[in-house]
Structure 1
Amino acid sequence: MSSRKPKLILVFEPEKACFDRLVADNHVPERAAEIASYLAQSTDFAAEFDALAAACQKRGLSFAPVTLDDDASALAGEDQKTTLVWTLTDGVAYFRGGAAPALARLNGLKAIGADDALFALCQDKFRSGAVLGALGLPVPQAGLARDGAWLVAPPASPAGWFVKPNRLGAKIGIWPDSHCHDLGHALKLSRRVFAAYRDDVIVQPYVAGRNARASFLGLRLDTGVEALGIAFVDSGGDFQTMQDSLALYGDTGAAAKAAGKYTEPVLLPVAGSQPEADARIRRIAERLMVGLGLRDVFSIDFRVEADDSVHLIEFEVCPGLPCFDFRDYCRQQWGLSLADAMAEAAANRLLA
């Protein structure tokens, strides 16, 4: 039995490191800043490292935050029996967090969250949608375009189409005209995305309804779908644009708070008004946990129609932990702060 104190290692990719790397790769600085903004959760969470360390200490653990660039050397000497790795940010293209769970596996260390293969799958929306469809889940079919040319033609859609980048964060590159009624305009958007971000776009039939998110943190090893927090996320519009998202996090969000202009979307429990939709979402989440391997910590985005029809949009294996919705989930479901919820989940895996 190892005599080392159990340790939680949180691996994160800093916003500035990503920005510098993208600029060095000849991305326009303004576009690089937009891409790197999706790592603002790392920036926001850094202020809580002390709180997480204290929460871990209270439960008999030590805590070490490790930047992604230091991850390989930091993990190399860790004890396999007493170390748990938690990856804060995913990514296989513009972001690189998907390397962290693979490095943990390479070093024989325990990791919280999904298998590292899912870190890659969830970041490619077209491939992810194909797998989800094969599992019989209600994901919209999708076309795929690159710089104004179809790689896969989208299905017909009387309600129009929704266009978004394939490998970037969900809101990166999404403009107010991303819901379009003309496939020529969809190709125009693909040229705009390719020029700005060097990414393909997926083009899905537009589905009406309200945006909903299912959040999950398995505090105990036996936690199941009963612990999902399922809420409508009402931001005042049909969908969040990139600018809407930027206003919530990082330096832009901090400036909005300082100016008294910060407004979070409203979270309303789906079960309160549409209990059948809530039940359907739980069945979908269970299918993802059993059939795909989601576990420990994740989020799933949906569109929910008034008749309780549910459309699965995407899943995340690294939900934005310091974001308003996940904090609310920890309070509502577990009665804990984010730091205490994370430390409790880690302790239950290391000390069980």
Structure 2
Amino acid sequence: MSSPRLILVHEPEKACLERLLADGHAPERAAEIASYLAQSTDLAHEFGALASAFGRRGLGFAAVELDDAADMLAKADLAATLVWTLTDGIAYFRGGAAPALARLNGLKTIGADDSLFALCQDKFRSGAVLGALGLPVPQAGLARNGQWLVEPPVSAAGWFVKPNRLGAKIGIWPDSRCGDLGHALELSRRVFAAYRDDVVVQPYVAGRNARASLLGLRPDTGVEALGVAFVESGGDFQTMEDSLALYGETGEAAKAAGKYAEPLLLPVAESQPVADAKVRAIAERLMSGLGLRDVFSIDLRVEPDDTVHLIEFEVCPGLPCFDFRAYCRSQWGLGLADAMAETAANRITARTVAS
């Protein structure tokens, strides 16, 4: 048997951009879409640190681009290899293929199984599943290029319109919260023209934005290790412009210009312990009923009366992003590289003991 190692599969922004341009997407829109893969760009700067952190634990580390993953995984030693997929995707991005390839080749993985990689990227379908599990997710309508596929529920507070498969919770434009369904259909036309995507139209829910993060440093890690924080960015919701300013090359440019400002993270338990407990119960249900494990994040809205709305789950949280780094420091007392390496080492040790 060869020495144990982890293979980190990632899809680079550049490869995605070139593919989108070849498919006829406008250059500016293609660049915006590819920007969602900025964590691959950001983490690439730390591959050396990751290799060192893994080496200190007697493990090898290999970062492989998605286009090269099929060959590498087919040749990997089954008994000595773990696969960690950095980026998901079933539409614009293709990272969801990596855990499926791992399963095809009989390799063990860190993270959810490939079925959840597909589900989380389709917000309308995932919302239906989450609702069936009894979780507090807003009901949704679905529109395509100005036509209703499913009409949304009535909402006295108005509606929130977001792409169904592109990114996650962002509204793209500042008017993504709207007061009439005619405007929602107009937004669906704009999204379809720009990104070729449907839109999810949900009743607007009030409250503060919150994120719950989990890294299962040990195989038996549960919701006691969940980090639950308000994310205070100064706005009600994130737009495409806001997202671009935080990550990847655009984020680096903002830092160089002195315009980079990370949102403030505030522990929910300090001001709303009841809401914190509700979030942990939601996470436990997602782990037991849906199959989330090892590493994931949840986005929520929390109202002053402790009402919690589940907005989405992510099987590939932005590992190099400010919030996940902060979680690794506060929960585990480790930087990102050591937290990832320790997670992998503990799973390999558990497999060795079990065998």
**TM-score grouping bracket, smaller chain normalisation:** over 0.9
What is the 5 A alignment of 1:23-34?
A: 23-34=21-32
Shift of 1:34: 0.2
Structure 1: how far apart are the matches of 2:171 and 2:287? Answer: 30
List runs of 5+ in structure 2 lacking aligned partners. 351-355
Structure 2: how far apart are the matches of 1:302 and 1:177? Answer: 20
Give the aligned partner of residue 254 of structure 2. Answer: 256
1:228 aligns with 2:254: no
Give the aligned partner of residue 214 of structure 1. Answer: 212
Structure 1 residue identity aligned to 2:165: R
Identity, % of aligned pairs? 82
Give the aligned partner of residue 303 of structure 1. Answer: 301
Give the aligned partner of residue 138 of structure 1. Answer: 136
Out of 273, 288, 300, the residue aligned to residue 271 of structure 2 is 273
Give the aligned partner of residue 51 of structure 2. Answer: 53
Shift of 1:171: 5.5
Structure 2 residue identity aligned to 1:102: A
Structure 1 length as normaliser, TM-score? Answer: 0.99
What is the 5 A alignment of 1:90-109?
A: 90-109=88-107
1:330 aligns with 2:328: yes
Give the aligned partner of residue 346 of structure 1. Answer: 344
Structure 1 residue identity aligned to 2:23: D
Contact in 2 for aligned 1:35/1:172 (Cα 8 Å): no
Structure 2: how far apart are the matches of 1:336 and 1:104? Answer: 28
1:18 aligns with 2:16: yes
Give the aligned partner of residue 79 of structure 1. Answer: 77
Structure 2: how far apart are the matches of 1:107 and 1:39? Answer: 25
Out of 37, 40, 44, the residue aligned to residue 39 of structure 1 is 37
Give the aligned partner of residue 353 of structure 2. Answer: none
Shift of 1:350: 1.1
| Alignment size in residue pairs | 350
Deviations 1:216-236 (A, max 9, x none): 000000000000000000000
Contact in 2 for aligned 1:125/1:166 (Cα 8 Å): yes
Structure 1: how far apart are the matches of 2:123 and 2:168? Answer: 9
List runs of 5+ in structure 1 lacking aligned partners. none
Structure 1: how far apart are the matches of 2:188 and 2:249? Answer: 29
Contact in 1 for aligned 2:144/2:188 (Cα 8 Å): yes
Structure 2: how far apart are the matches of 1:15 and 1:287? Answer: 33
Structure 2: how far apart are the matches of 1:173 and 1:13? Answer: 24
Structure 1: how far apart are the matches of 2:168 and 2:243? Answer: 10
Where 2:329 maps in the other structure, the secondary structure is helix
What is the 5 A alignment of 1:100-249?
A: 100-170=98-168, 174-249=172-247
Structure 2 residue identity aligned to 1:81: A
Where 1:351 maps in the other structure, the secondary structure is helix
Structure 2 length as normaliser, TM-score? Answer: 0.98
Shift of 1:170: 2.1
